[in-house]
Structure 1
Amino acid sequence: MTWLTPTIAGIAAAIAVPALIILYFLKLRRRDVEISTTLLWKKTIQDIQANAPFQRLRKNILLFLQLLVLAGILLAIAQPQIRGDISTGTQRVILIDRSASMSATDGNPDAIGDMRGAMTRLDKAKEAALKLVDSLREPSLIGAGPVDEAMVIVFDTTAEVRQQFTADKARLRAAIESIEPSDAPSQLTEALRLARAHLPDKMLADTVTDESGNTTTRNITLEGVKAGGATIHLYSDGRLPDAESAITSAEDTVTFVQVGRTDAANVGITAMRADRAFDTPIDVSLYVGLENTARTAQEVELELLIDGITSRVTTVTIPAATPPIGAEFGDEADEDAKMLAAMLPWTPGVTGRTFEFAQAEGGTFAVQITAADPGKDLLPVDNRAWMIVPPAKQLSVALVSPGNLFLITALEGLPLARLVQFSPEQYTAATARGEMAEFDVMIFDGWVPTIDGEPGLPPGRFLVLGAVPSPLGVAAGSEPAPAMMLDWRRDHPVMRLLLLDRLQMLKLPDIVVPEGSGATVLAETDRGPAILELSQARTRAMIVPFDIGQSTWPLDVSFVVFIGASVNYLGQEGGVFGASGDSFRPGSVLTDRLPIGAKGVRLAIPGSSERAELQPATDGRIAYGPIRKAGLYEASWVGPAGAGDATDGSRVVRMYAANLLDPAESDIAAAPLLLLTGIPLEAELADDAKAMIRLWPWVILAALVVLMLEWYIYNRKVYI
């Protein structure tokens, strides 16, 4: 038990208690009245004798009750409270994880599988955070004593301050209760960085002695250097992939409040990809990747829907998750081994199914799964995925090259609708006349156009060979040098069928990839990147910065495979189809470029009647986000339509798909141990978090009850 204002209560007691007792020593002052006889006044005479000055106190229940009332009031002034397991601090930072895995429905373990009593992890985290708010020290009855402040930060991929530091519990409660779930993955680093940015600057005491020997001390604020010592309460299931690299101060106290079960099971869709056959674009191959985190094999029903109509249904058995290597679970294992094995993550079971069918028309493809055992599928958001598929077509390709026999030969062997070769001068003239818009893919060989004085790429789909377009660059002072291939992304649609281990380059530039450029390295050599993908709004490009004529690549069959796969990938919108050429993940910003002249742009949000009003930039660019929900987003406007856009009355419509498709987020088993900045942090269960219980209101209530009893006894003239 602790006391907020014991000194003030002690002073009040030293004054009030003696004063009350003295009242029972004092003689009653009475008025003299003459009467004829005292026979009827014996009781009064006894009372006069008993109230002589400074007599010995007799037993008096009224005095006892009044002392009890006074003791209760004095205890209330001291403000006693019982402290639970939650740590204290002047400033507290409440971090609440609202990522996709926090929507798992095991917040109430007793209701797993029963949707009527189900409770999400986020609801459980909010409940525990509200307990913490109730436990904060607040201003005392007379304004004395320390006061706790707290701020509320909610995070998924990004972080957001819901409430600045305040001691107002009503505002803190409102901020916590207003938190809504998100379908985005989780990242802790941004939340901790945001929390530290709102801490006060560090102060140092500077002692100065003047010529007379007088010493003065002043406080110096170190701008930009944040004070440590904050108490951080993290409410999460521990599925934080960047926790080990997150940075906290050595002076901070971090409490990890775990929500969710460590053995929580889930089945989900973790991959979705569609390809049209290059030679027969009408043929579609749709792959769906599935994951199971349960420790037994799970059966699910997999359904394919095209434009909302069921096309195919199949039953899939997903293998069980496998235990950590070397983990011991049997009866022969000791308790420490079993505890260690329980803390290590299991490897989810994975499988996949491919749907193959003919579909000349475009449309919205959706897949969804239904688990045979709902208790083994606690996360709903990863049970559906969508993609926007354009109509089948054979591609038109423009080649801008001074003449490259290897490249021309490879392109002529592809089943293209049209292949047209331009010189750089012819391309520039055709672009000025607006004639290049009819090509699906443009290939630049050893040359790229100039945009704003720099080599760059306009909106479109490009394959660039032997050149480095902006925003990529070449390291200053470097010269092209021989290089050998080390590794490449085998999970990329273009790279997955390639064998590049024997590829050698005579002159490879030292490529610089600026942060935030939208470039992804697909192949790495001993000198740096050799193949890259650039994705920026309405521009997508595959970039090979070295001269293929000065390499061994044209003599390898993988070169022809690469050219064909690149053209198909770029022309068919990258395999993850969409009218905009992009599929988005919750937590990212939805960006696109609409036709020039689009007006009245509205974006429909999935699962809501909300319509976001967007204002396109002068080049037609729009941006919305970060998007929080998975599903289908619909942009509509009045004005010209682009390729693949639909119409709805007088408005043009373009669809976007947002999917979780994150194996780490679908693995919802709560972590009993969190490695924060490399330091193990043991979890505290949300149900075990104890709040501060104030006793002084109950003491006042008891004092009032005793006061009412004293009034009753006084009026009944009861004495002992």
Structure 2
Amino acid sequence: MGIGLWSGLWFGLAIPIILLMYLFKRKYIDTTVSSHLLWNHVLRNIEANRPWQKLQNRLLLWLQLLVAALLVFALMAPYIWVQGGSKHTVVIVDASASMSMILNEQTDGPQGVQNGMESDQQATAGFGLEQRSSQNSGQTGTVSAMDQLKEELSEFTASLNRKSELTLLKLGSKPQVILSRETNRGKWKQAISELTPDFGVSAYRETLSLAAAMTKEDAEARLVIFTDGRWLERSDDIPLDVPVNVVMIGDAAPGNASIEQFGVKSNPAAETVEGVSVVRNYGGHALEAELNLYGDERLLASQQAVVGAEESLTVSFADLPAAEVYRLSLSPGDSYALDNEAFAFSGQHRAPQVLLFSRGNLFLEKALQLAGASVTRMNPDDGGETGASEVPKLPERTPDIMVVDGQAPDYLQQSPWSELISRTPLWTIGGKEDKVQPPNGELKIENHPVTRYFTIKDSPTATLSKSPLPAWGKSIMEIGGLPAIYAGNEAGVARLGFLFALEDSDLPLRPEFPILVNNAVEWLQSGRAAGLGRAMVEAKVSIPVAAEAQQGVWTAIGGYAATNGVTDIPAEMKDGLVLAEQTAPAVPGLWRFQLRDVNGTELASYYLQTTASPLESAVQAAWPLQLTAGDKSEPSAAGADDGTAGSPGSVTDADTRTERGQGDFSDRYPLAYLLALLAFLVIFAEWGVYQRGRSI
């Protein structure tokens, strides 16, 4: 139950006035006289008034006080909350990027329905990207604002009566009508469970305008807005003709730290990489944070940074080793994790670094160089600095491709070389296995990027290694029905194998040999993706697409998208071909776009970092949510004229004040008319008492 107009208490002054009237009224005493000659004496005694008399227990007095009390209560516009008062409920769900923010803790229930939101907000504790929001909001621990919204929205819909119609609007990059006048509660639950944040530029005004149009001249409708209060567009000029309730989700953080820019640049002279970043502090207090820079997930550098309130700071990194993907992380992160890290990529046209294990093969080494590779050769018989028994150190520059010509040294099976091989494309030639002679020289060459433009007609070797194909390998060239060259991917890493030694073959002397080596280098480094830079979610991105590419897929490999297990997204196609202009994935993070031919062989891949709308990072730029209620809107109540009309978060009209809601999801039923009727009945009873001559 609530009070609509506390100013009605002024009429309560009528109660002491009634009491004063009874205190000062004349008191008449019944007197028996024997003659009319004594009237003058009796009248003189009666005229002697006695003020401040003791109140008598009179029925008329209590009836008059009851009437006054009922009138006072009616003028205060009391109301009670009734369940499901509106037949048609339109709900706007704020699904902007800020709804992915991690809240302090799991709350026990709804924070409340309110006609106006409080402007005071509390800071939330920060959590890094490694912390994921609970998918089950019933569990204790941290949850996202969207998790809490779905919980409170479920409770709200459960409170509606059976005849209620629900229209659900999602406020994302565009207004989305998820449900329209739906009465099936099963569909309500399914739609609520499938709600997810939208990370683009949110259409605040468009969604509110759509809700206004859907409820216009609908006497049975009401509007409920579920939001965290970070409203990035003005809304007070959109009139609404229905009662409006606003449900606050969590407490919006007063500040935020963001990595606005991050990039790397190669220094060819020093063969190193330089990095630069811009960090911005949107909060009202100075920020002390640590910037950690990773290269291919290895920590390369760390710097302490102090950023003033509402200021930005440029931080540089020098003498970085070469890497394919660089990641800059802000530590400690805050509750809005989408801008706490950024990615950068090495140059697209950098020559591939090839580490060649060979006792000496001039033809192979020159062919690799003709393919544009930078070759570093190691003799398999050489150990460390102290002798062959020592395991050599890893090269300073991480190779892009490893080539083993002949028998592989034993130390490649030991750490840290085994870890390097597990993540590096590998090409093996020959080996120590027993050899076998093919029954004939018949060649069979499969269609594969390695054998493209390879047109030899006769067998290049008389012996093959007697080695079974690995489970992941596919034969791409056979001699006499026996596999001679195989290729495949082992745990996502390219592998190429020649089952014959080059010294036992005339292949290096043939003009097709440089073509074969060039194809091998290109295919092996196809897993080394080129960087496409940064793009906002759902932006159009131009990608170099080979003519033979007939398959494409986006795979999340880092950032928010990978942390939350976003599934692969197929590429956009037209007439069976991959389009050169693709739409960036709708979830922020590090993505890899892979192109494949008709057989599923990878042709090329590209890295892209997708980011959420930068407007969501600038929390200080948010507009207060102010709604202009129409003539049919229910005025909200206020305790006193405290100057809060039109304050941030209020639903305003000429006589509106702000207040926090009752904590349930019901409509207000006014009691003023019922109290006025009761007061009339009491007055009627009082007149009957007066007519019967009861004492006054």
If you compute each CA radius of gyration, which structure gives the higher value, 1 or 2? 2
TM-score exceeds 0.5: no
